[in-house]
Amino acid sequence: DGGITQSPKYLFRKEGQNVTLSCEQNLNHDAMYWYRQDPGQGLRLIYYSQIVNDFQKGDIAEGYSVSREKKESFPLTVTSAQKNPTAFYLCASSLPPAGVGGYTFGSGTRLTVV
């Protein structure tokens, strides 16, 4: 079955550490996205990539980094510069333009800073 796989489902990080969230898709979608969900704030865009080896900052990119070396993979690194990293992170993919079919989302990773 085609879909998006995010791992791990739960992740704990000590303050000052970097951590990488995995996102893999086998849908042959060109575009991939990372969103963050906080209570009462909906989904906010962190980074997106429309093609391999290219990506753009979203609304809240500070403290995060990404890479897009393969079409199937779009890992997100939460760096120690991110002041409030505890959140639910969602990865998505789409065939451009996204409006036609919308996004396909992964099941999410809940990151907690301890």
Partner 1 sequence: DQQVKQNSPSLSVQEGRISILNCDYTNSMFDYFLWYKKYPAEGPTFLISISSIKDKNEDGRFTVFLNKSAKHLSLHIVPSQPGDSAVYFCAASAGNQFYFGTGTSLTVIP
Peptide bond into 85 cis (omega under 30): no
CB 92 within 8 A of CB 5: no
Positive or negative CA dihedral for 49, 68, 72, 112?
Answer: negative
Read off the amino acid at residue 72: E
96 scored as a contact of partner 1 (CB under 8 A): yes
CB of 95 to partner 1, least distance (A): 10
Per CB under 8 A, the list member of 18, 20, 107, 112 interacting with partner 1 is 107
From first CA to last CA, the distance across the chain in angstroms is 36
CB 111 within 8 A of CB 11: yes
Per CB under 8 A, the list member of 55, 76, 103, 113 interacting with partner 1 is 103
2 scored as a contact of partner 1 (CB under 8 A): no
Per CB under 8 A, the list member of 22, 61, 63, 105 interacting with partner 1 is 105
98 scored as a contact of partner 1 (CB under 8 A): yes
Question: For residues 25-84, which are near partner 1 according to CB under 8 A?
Answer: 31, 33, 35, 40-45, 48, 50, 58
Backbone angles phi, psi at 34, to 5 degrees: -125, 130
Judged by the rule CB under 8 A, the positions of this chain that interact with partner 1 are 4, 6, 9, 31, 33, 35, 40-45, 48, 50, 58, 88, 90, 92, 94, 96-100, 102-108, 110
